[in-house]
Each structure stands twice: as structure tokens, then as C-alpha cells.
């Protein structure tokens, strides 16, 4: 479980996050949603330690990340897997080498054991056939799956996904969502997904937090998203005509 308590972050004196407090439970896919520029990526970067917040606390199963020394932070990082928006696979390595990389760096297993684990992770994301290809030779969806395999190679307790569906078609997005959701439940991980894809929210949003105007506007589940009376949330969620119609049908259905 990850707890964020009264987190503040500013750039050049301008507040980007104000008094954010949230709980991200393990075994659940926790979604951070919000408009572009609302600060959700900054929040995720603060949680994983790529940015230093001005104040607040970040508790990883009770361990305060912001009060850890360098060695403790380094040790905690081995419990973290991250899927970046652009996959961030290493161009000079094959898919298998990418997945083996964290094992090569931090595992004391033999080469055969490391390779076996990497192949298992690739099998888990249905990417065994592309193991010898380079990131530039595979599609965006396959790159995302390879990045997921790399992220879970060390069996992390915490998985962070920054806009995992960006640049993917709806069908592939669904595959990625289901994969992340499945892995989260299977390994009982604390998964935090940063997204503005409404299909993801409705599909896998076990716990949803909505960031608006630098602060935490709303929290709830995927079911509560559709029935919420929060104006800011409704303006964001039902911005598209398709979802407006879904909302109208939901209201008609309830009244009928």
C-alpha cells in the first residue's frame, strides 16, 4: 500500500500540486486521472522519486520514502517496476536483453536462471515470439508489453504505469489494461496508473483519484465515476459525445 499525505509540489514558485492525500491499495489498480497539465504526471514522478516534493509524506507500506537515506531509497527502488509512456526500452538491446536487464543488474542468479525468468515474463505478456527483436522492430503495443515484462522481471511490489495506452488503438489498449489488471491481482501488487483514457477508468479502475486544478478533487471506484455528482469530474469524464450518451442512457435506465 502506498499512502500520500499532504503532498505539495511547485515549479519556480508556481504550485503544481496542493495538499494531495491519497491511499493506493495493494492488489488493486489505482488510477490517477485528470486533464493534461493537471499535475498527475508530476504526482507520479514525486511518488517514484524522480521529483522531490516541497513537503508531505510518501509511505510505502509504512516506510517514509522522503525520509530514507540514499541506500534505503536504492533498496526500495528494486521493489518498484515502471512502465513509461513511451515504453523507454533500451534501443541497443533486444527485447529479451531488455527484460533480462534488471535481473542482470540486481540478481545473483546464474545466466540460465535469469534467462528462464525473463522468458517466463515474456510468456506472461504473450511476447515470446519477439524476444530476439529490437524495440525499433516491434509495434507500439508490443513495446508496451515488453516494458511490462521488464517492469515485472524482479517481481516488484509496486507497479507504476504512466499513460500505458497513449498512442495505442482501443483494442490494443484493452489488452494492455487487462494485462496490467491481471498482473496486479496475480502478484498482489500496488499498481498506480496515470491515464486519461476513459475506457481504462471504466474497465479497470478499482480505485480512481481525480486531480483537478492542482488538488485532489474526487476519489471513488469505476462504478462511482458514472454516478458521481461532482461537476468537475463530470465535465472531464463526459467530455466526449459518446460518453455523454452513455450517461444519458444510464440516467434513463435508472429513472425507468
Partner 1 sequence: MLMRKVFSRPDKMRMSLKRYVNEIAKLGVNSIGIVMLISLFIGAVITVQLQLNISNPLMPRWTVGYVTREIMLLEFSSAIMSLILAGKVGSNIASELGTMRVTQQIDALDIMGVNSANYLILPKIAAMMTIIPILVTFSIFAGIIGAYCTCWFLGIMTAVDLEYGLQYEFVEWNVWSGFIKSLFFAFIIASVSAYYGYTVKGGSIEVGKASTDSVVSSSVLILFSDLVLTKLLFG
Q: Which parts of this chain interact with partner 1 (CB under 8 A)?
A: 48-50, 73-78, 80, 82, 84-86, 88-91, 101-102, 104-106, 160
Tell me how far apart the alpha carbons of residues 59 and 4 are, in angstroms, rounded to a whole number.
6
Least Å from the CB of residue 77 to partner 1: 3
Tell me how far apart the alpha carbons of residues 14 and 12 are, in angstroms, rounded to a whole number.
6
Least Å from the CB of residue 202 to partner 1: 28
Q: Which is nearer to partner 1, 4 or 159 (CB)?
A: 159
Contact (CB, 8 A) for 189 and 156? yes
How large is the angle between the packed helices 111-124 and 140-152, nearest 10 degrees? 130
Least Å from the CB of residue 106 to partner 1: 7
Q: Which is nearer to partner 1, 5 or 78 (CB)?
A: 78
Q: Which is nearer to partner 1, 104 or 178 (CB)?
A: 104
Q: What stretch of H or E contains 32?
A: strand 29-33
Q: Which is nearer to partner 1, 48 or 202 (CB)?
A: 48
Tell me how far apart the alpha carbons of residues 24 and 6 are, in angstroms, rounded to a whole number.
14
Bridge partners (DSSP) listed for residue 192: 30, 160
Tell me how far apart the alpha carbons of residues 127 and 134 are, in angstroms, rounded to a whole number.
12
Supply angle C-alpha 170, 195, 209, rounded to 5: 130
Least Å from the CB of residue 15 to partner 1: 21
Q: Which is nearer to partner 1, 6 or 74 (CB)?
A: 74
Q: What stretch of H or E contains 51?
A: none
Least Å from the CB of residue 175 to partner 1: 22
Query: Pick from 53, 66, 64: which is nearest to 10 by CA?
Result: 53
Least Å from the CB of residue 19 to partner 1: 26
Q: Which is nearer to partner 1, 114 or 181 (CB)?
A: 114
What contacts 57, CB < 8 A, 6 or more positions away? 3, 4, 5, 6, 7, 64, 66
Least Å from the CB of residue 241 to partner 1: 33
Q: Which is nearer to partner 1, 70 or 229 (CB)?
A: 70
Amino acid at each position: 500500500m502506498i499512502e500520500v499525505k499532504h503532498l505539495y509540489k511547485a515549479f519556480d514558485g508556481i504550485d503544481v500540486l496542493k495538499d494531495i492525500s491519497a491511499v493506493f491499495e495493494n492488489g488493486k489498480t489505482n488510477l490517477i486521472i485528470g486533464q493534461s497539465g493537471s499535475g498527475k504526471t508530476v504526482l507520479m514522478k514525486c511518488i517514484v522519486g524522480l521529483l522531490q516534493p516541497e513537503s508531505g509524506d510518501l509511505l510505502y507500506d509504512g516506510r517514509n520514502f522522503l525520509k530514507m537515506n540514499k541506500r534505503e531509497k536504492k533498496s526500495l527502488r528494486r521493489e518498484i517496476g515502471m512502465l513509461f509512456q513511451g515504453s523507454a526500452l533500451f534501443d541497443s538491446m533486444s527485447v529479451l536483453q531488455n527484460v533480462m536487464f534488471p535481473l542482470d543488474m540486481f540478481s545473483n542468479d546464474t545466466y540460465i536462471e535469469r534467462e528462464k525468468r525473463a522468458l517466463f515474463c515474456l510468456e506472461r505478456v504473450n511476447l515470446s515470439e519477439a524476444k530476439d527483436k529490437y524495440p525499433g522492430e516491434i509495434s507500439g503495443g508490443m513495446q508496451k508489453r515488453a516494458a511490462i515484462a521488464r517492469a515485472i522481471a524482479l517481481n516488484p511490489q509496486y507497479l507504476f504505469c504512466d499513460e500505458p495506452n497513449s498512442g495505442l488503438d482501443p483494442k490494443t489498449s484493452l489488452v494492455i489494461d487487462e494485462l496490467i489488471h491481471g498482473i496486479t491481482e496475480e502478484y498482489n501488487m500496488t499498481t498506480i496508473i496515470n491515464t486519461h483514457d476513459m475506457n481504462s477508468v471504466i474497465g479497470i479502475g478499482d480505485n480512481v483519484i481525480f486531480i483537478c486544478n492542482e488538488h485532489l478533487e474526487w476519489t471513488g471506484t469505476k462504478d462511482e465515476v458514472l454516478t458521481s455528482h461532482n461537476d468537475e469530474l463530470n465535465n472531464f469524464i463526459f467530455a466526449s459525445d459518446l460518453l455523454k450518451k452513455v450517461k444519458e442512457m444510464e440516467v434513463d435506465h435508472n429513472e425507468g
